[in-house]
Structure 1
């Protein structure tokens, strides 16, 4: 029997000491001193971003008089955040995979070509040669000592190529609904249980938070970031939104047990965390995942990625069923505030009715839409820790900034169909 990989929060909440305010605090409304929930003035934001976010909180939250998105007597306004690069500095999925490779936590598949439907013969050969066939199927691969095996697995994830530079994936997929190397991570944990993945994540999280900012580590012969930090500004924003009565969710293209573990650290429970959901067989993770918007669960064909994030938000938060979940909804069934950092976030962030906060990681389509700011609801903030330098060339919005479903590029268009002019990087 196959069941969705939805997991409880009790053990997770107990394990994470720095979890944010609980549900009771989130519903408490005004602070004890009678003031409306406000963002900390001790944390630095770019430009007028703090003031603009506070304006939305005041308008739609518990201190608002009324409004379609919330306020007194209205439905609770919804806020949704991407995770990696948006709420945290550095990628928590990669941090967990690195830990797993360093501690022999990946189980040998029967054959590598069965892990992903798009894996190339070249990648299949490279993985088989590097990881060998001596380990019985279903037993841990010795990736802590076999650098070649760890290298090939991580290279497929990070570069979508083998160590020799050959393409790791080929075939057809909708480039606005999935990317094979993202789906690859949950598939690598096939045979494990969600509880085991949470255990691995907690260990990786403890190390990443303890490591100093700027630390690096090795996996195989790769040098990768060795630390992760919650952005204090985003943590404070989420806390303030919850205190103001917003219904706060996380939507990520990571692996759900991993994202849930980290999201608990800002007070967002598993019930409000959306990421790639594996299908279980006998309680164990398979290479299949749940579908969205009327699509059956597949092997990575539809994950929370670009249009997939919109679909999952519509389906899971607003109860939109069937193919309609892939479409932008009326204002009454859309999030009020959204935050992201990448092209993977553009659809659900664009759907936000009141504020769209983008953390600048120089991702083309995201920055084209944010800098164009067609309706005045976009806010751009440099990365809160170790921000990137200014991009010297304009973003190619008018020519190649948009990725079509077939993978080709096109101009980035506004809602009215007009192309967005090339944009210069101004918030860095």
Structure 2
């Protein structure tokens, strides 16, 4: 990514310092626009450019508020709140077996081999699975969810659109079947307390394995969200974790559940089912699109901008798109590309995302190392020209620009180690 020259950075800082109010008969008085509190953790002129963007919009009085959209896991926090909740469910016997022991009912994409493996490992004649003590059942569930394969190495999911669905992510929401939304939120809240209290680097035992046992909010992202809100932005979270889980965590950065969108289950008699809400041209219960890659675009268009039907799946005119977006993974690429102002990328060495961010064709991409435990430099170039893009059928293809031309391989250049306060809250 090419950084702006020093003069541009100075101009951005100057713009971020004040906004001018319109004259009201007397001499116009400057009104301070909010700026980020600290430079710690911000790479190059990223802070200055974000401050300048806020200054460009902080005195907007007419029309709709400018929209900012954040991914959640590893964008606003370090680690994954969906994972944290799943581990808690297994450690506390909160997964219900499917009716009649037929695991294929938990996901239309579950392979027969995976359904058989789960049926053999987990009892069917119980109200909740005893995964705190039954390590064979816990291990099978953990393997299918975490690696997309059975403990015997068989593929667990197949037959889905790789730009709209990640069945492993969806499966966590589907395994909440039988519980109410309030109960699911309570499980997430209990996992949140444990993971924020655990020391950085902590692990926990699930089944016979050790998994990540801690989560932290990024102080810089809390500050950014608060500053955007103070500057008049309408701030949203859009995540590929279950919505009741995201709702619980989003409150910790001042985002109301009404502004948090995650994977949504359908309900029956007040309880969550193993089927999912649809978006755009996908009906409820078809289970074909979640908040994932192109699915995030659809849910943003539908829930934030009010676009209904198949039109929600398409890129909207600039006036009906987010001004600012932040993400960390290829799962975020579509809604990041849709942002009209700036696109903040936390570098986790994800191929398609880093190909587009480093090429920086329109100068609106900002690359920043993660604020806690940033990745080391990727020594080989990102394979943009060959395999950086995952197509709908799962095949690896070149990353292409809007005009169809191929993005050349990109070097990893934003990688230096940064430090950050680690405050549980």
When normalised by structure 2's length, the TM-score is 0.88
Distance 1:151 1:374 in 2: 45
Of 238, 246, 257, which residue of structure 2 is paired with 1:259?
Answer: 246
1:109 corresponds to which residue? 98
- Which ranges of structure 2 fall in alignment gaps of 5 or more residues? 1-20, 22-29, 416-425
Distance 1:181 1:153 in 2: 11
| 2:45 pairs with 1:48 | yes
Query: Displacement, 1:298?
Result: 2.6
- Contact persistence 2:98–2:124 (CA under 8 A): no
Distance 1:222 1:87 in 2: 27
Of 143, 167, 173, which residue of structure 1 is paired with 2:131?
Answer: 143
| 2:201 pairs with 1:214 | yes
Q: Deviations over 1:148-200 (max 9, x none)?
A: 11111111111000111111112x22110001111100111100111111111
Counterpart mapping for 1:389-408 below 5 A? 389-408=376-395
1:88 corresponds to which residue? 77
- Contact persistence 2:205–2:211 (CA under 8 A): yes
Distance 2:401 2:348 in 1: 21
Q: Deviations over 1:246-287 (max 9, x none)?
A: 000011111000011101111111111111110110000001
Query: Displacement, 1:44?
Result: 2.2
Query: Displacement, 1:75?
Result: 2.4
- Contact persistence 2:278–2:286 (CA under 8 A): no
Distance 1:133 1:224 in 2: 26
RMSD: 1.4
Of 235, 238, 244, which residue of structure 1 is paired with 2:225?
Answer: 238
Distance 1:369 1:296 in 2: 32
Displaced runs of 4 or more, over 3 A: none
Of 349, 368, 375, which residue of structure 2 is paired with 1:362?
Answer: 349
Q: Deviations over 1:332-380 (max 9, x none)?
A: 0000000000001000011000100011111110110100100000001
Of 150, 154, 165, which residue of structure 2 is paired with 1:162?
Answer: 150
Query: Displacement, 1:411?
Result: 1.0
- Contact persistence 1:80–1:337 (CA under 8 A): yes
1:296 corresponds to which residue? 283
- Contact persistence 1:43–1:232 (CA under 8 A): no
Query: Displacement, 1:42?
Result: 5.3
- Which ranges of structure 1 fall in alignment gaps of 5 or more residues? 1-28, 63-70
Distance 1:280 1:74 in 2: 36
| 2:188 pairs with 1:201 | yes
- Contact persistence 1:116–1:299 (CA under 8 A): no
- Contact persistence 1:256–1:275 (CA under 8 A): yes
- Contact persistence 1:96–1:200 (CA under 8 A): yes
Distance 1:42 1:53, change over 3 A: closer
Query: Displacement, 1:133?
Result: 2.9
1:67 corresponds to which residue? none
2:124 corresponds to which residue? 133
Query: Displacement, 1:129?
Result: 1.5
Secondary structure, aligned partner of 2:32: coil
Distance 1:79 1:323 in 2: 23
- Aligned residue pairs total 385
2:6 corresponds to which residue? none
Distance 1:213 1:300 in 2: 36
Query: Displacement, 1:130?
Result: 1.2
- Contact persistence 2:266–2:285 (CA under 8 A): no
Q: Which moved more, 1:202-211 or 1:37-46?
A: 37-46
Distance 1:278 1:217 in 2: 28
Secondary structure, aligned partner of 1:218: strand
Query: Displacement, 1:406?
Result: 1.4
Distance 2:303 2:55 in 1: 26
- Contact persistence 1:251–1:304 (CA under 8 A): yes
- Contact persistence 2:165–2:288 (CA under 8 A): yes
Distance 1:86 1:221 in 2: 30
Distance 2:369 2:45 in 1: 13
